Amino acid sequence: MAKRIAILQSNYIPWKGYFDLIRAVDEFILFDGVQYTRQDWRNRNRIKTPRGARWLTVPVKGRFGQTIAETAVGDPDWARKHWRVIEQNYREAPFFARYSEAFETAYLDCREDRLSRINHHFLTIICGFLDIPTQISRSADYHLGEGKTQRLVSLCRQAGATEYLSGPAAKDYLEPGLFAEAGIGLRYVDYHGYPEYPQLFPPFEHEVSMVDLLFNAGPDAPRYLKAL
């Protein structure tokens, strides 16, 4: 039986391309057993504001070399602060009222103190709004091997994958031959060509959090995704 897998590092309220990749596979594995990278998408993303795009960053603490799964939150009040900023900037969006209660609860009731678990929490909620049924698991559920490509191939084998979908940036380091030897198809997705949607605070920007699309397009949000 065919099974399509994607493996990607844990991101905070990511952009629409991340959810397109989740939607395109049968199982999506959060690759959180690898080193946490600073000033990356792991703990931050952007939203639209009247003064332009703004970063929302989950403050974290820890030591050099820690994994994403080990990375802990550095400010216990971060969730309330983030919700306040989101509310201030999206309250006039057409579908803010439709999702605001669920998001407010997700933020204010969040008791997780590890970054990857927080990210998983919001991924699950947003996938629910988008009617994405994909299983979201974590690399911690599997055994991690050595080597960049070898680890991915090993995860695919353990998950029973017949095809692996990868983001385009991985072309710089993946070894396609290792997937071929394992009998696993390899395909790269293309994030170009997304349609624009009605968005607050022009000019239009694609690379903002998925919450922007939800608050502005509501139930029509999937129309502005792609079939990868």
Cis peptide bond N-terminal to 203, omega within 30: yes
So what's the pLDDT on residue 65?
A: 85
pLDDT, block means (10 residues), the chain with 228 residues:
95 97 97 91 97 97 89 96 98 98 96 94 97 94 87 96 94 94 96 95 96 98 88
Domain span holding position 202? 4-224
Check the CA dihedral 80-86-91-93 and report its sign.
Answer: negative
So what's the pLDDT on residue 147?
A: 85
Q: Cα 177 to chain center, whole Å?
A: 27
Q: In the chain, how many domains are there?
A: 1
So what's the pLDDT on residue 54?
A: 97
CA distances from 112 to 69, 85, 102, 116, 123 (A): 12, 20, 17, 9, 14
So what's the pLDDT on residue 62?
A: 82
So what's the pLDDT on residue 148?
A: 87
So what's the pLDDT on residue 228?
A: 63
How many other CB atoms are found less than 10 A from the CB of residue 57? 15
So what's the pLDDT on residue 53?
A: 96
CA distances from 114 to 10, 70, 71, 140, 180 (A): 11, 7, 6, 14, 36
Check the CA dihedral 211-133-35-178 and report its sign.
Answer: negative
So what's the pLDDT on residue 145?
A: 78
- Judging by beta carbons within 10 Å of its beta carbon (0-12, 13-18, 19+), is residue 137 exposed, middle or buried? middle
